[in-house]
Structure 1
Amino acid sequence: MCRLTLSDLPEVFVPFPALRSNKGKLVFYNKNLNFNLSEAELLSRYNYTTSLTNFDTDSIIGKKIFFAERYGGDGILNNGGGGRCGFDGIFHLKGLGTNQLVGARPRDAYGNSHGNGFLSLDVAIYESIWGEIINVALPYGATRAAAVIDLDEDFEEPDQTLPRGLLVRMPAVRPAHFIRAVYFKEKSLAT
C-alpha cells in the first residue's frame, strides 16, 4: 500500500519567508516521536514568525522559507488554505503569522481569530494533548505534536490578551487538500 504524504502534493504549496528570533522557549517536547532532533535543534529550526509584533531587529537572527498549503472546505471563511501555518518538508508549524493565503476581508468582520496568523499558547498545548489522546484512541492515529514553543509575547483578541505560541506538528494530508477554496480572494499587496 502506497501512503500519500504532504510532500507528495507540491501543487498545494505557496512559498513565503519567515524570520527566526532568539526569543522563545520550548514548553513541550515530544520525546516519543523519535525524530532525531534535540530540543535545542528543534527550537533553532522552528522558532520562526512572519509577524514581529514585539520583536526588535536585534531579536532577528535568521530567515527561512516555509510553504503555506492551499486547501478548501467550509470553516476557512475566505482564506485560501493554511493562512497561519507553514511547512518546511519535515514539520508543519502553526501560529507563525499570516501568509498570502489569508483572504482579503476586514479583520474586524470576524475578530482577529485566524486573520492575524497567531495561535495562543494554551490552544497549542491543548492541541498537543488531544493529539496524543486521539492517537491512542483511534485505530489510524492522529496528527501529533513534536513541540510547543512559547514565543514570549502576547497578542490581542477582541476581548482578551493571550500568550502567543507555536505548534510544531507532524504533517498530514487531509481531504481539504483536494477541495477548492471557492471564496478565496487574495489580498492585493502594496508596492
Structure 2
Amino acid sequence: MTAPGLFVSFEGIDGSGKSTQARHLAESLRARGREVVLTREPGGSPGAEEIRALVLQGAPDRWSAETELLLFTAARRDHLERTIRPALASGQTVICDRFADSTRMYQGLRREDLRGTVDALHRLMIGLEPDLTFLIDMDPQAALTRAKARATAEERFEDFGLGLQQRLRAGFLALAREFPQRVVVIDGARAPEVVAAEIRASLDARHPA
C-alpha cells in the first residue's frame, strides 16, 4: 500500500511572505526526490479558483463574514475532494498556501462570535487538519506595505486596512498557542533564504523523510 502523504500549510497575514516560503519548500523537497503538490486557498481546483475571484476581488463590504465563511468552505471542500485528498492518498506531500486557519482568523475575527461556527462547519464539511503549519510572523505595517506594493486585483482584504492586519497577527499567534503541536511560528522579517532554511530544518525535525 502507498503510505499516506504529508500535509503542510503556510499561514500568516497579507504580505508576510508565506507564498514565497511555500514555493521554496516545494522546490527544496522536489530536489530531494519527493513528489510535491503545491497548492493554495482559496483555489487549488477549478471550482475553487472560480470562488477565489468572488471573495478576493471587489469592495471590502462586498460580502458579510457569514457569506464569506460559506464561500470559503465551499471552495475548500472542492479543493479537498479534487486535489488534496487524492494527492495524500497517493503518498505525495501537499504544501498549501493557507488552509482552515485563515478562515478561523479572517472570518472568525471579523465577527468574533463566528469562531465557533467556523470550527463547527470545518468539522462537518472538511474534517482535515494539516500535519504541520508554518506561521510566518511579520510586523503588520511592513507586511501590509509589501502586500499593497504587489498591486494585484486581489486586494479586498488588504483594503480593510492596518487595524485588521494587527488583529489578524494577534489572532494567528494565539492560534499557535492553541495548537502548539501543529503550528510552528517562523520570524518572517529575515532574509528569505534564512527563513527557508529554518523551515526546512523544522520540517526535517518533525517529519524526517
Under a length normalisation based on structure 2, what TM-score does the superposition of the two structures give? Answer: 0.25
- Bigger proportion of residues as strand: 1
Higher relative contact order (CA 8 A, sep 6+): 2
Q: Normalising by the residue count of structure 1, what TM-score does the alignment of the two structures yield?
A: 0.27
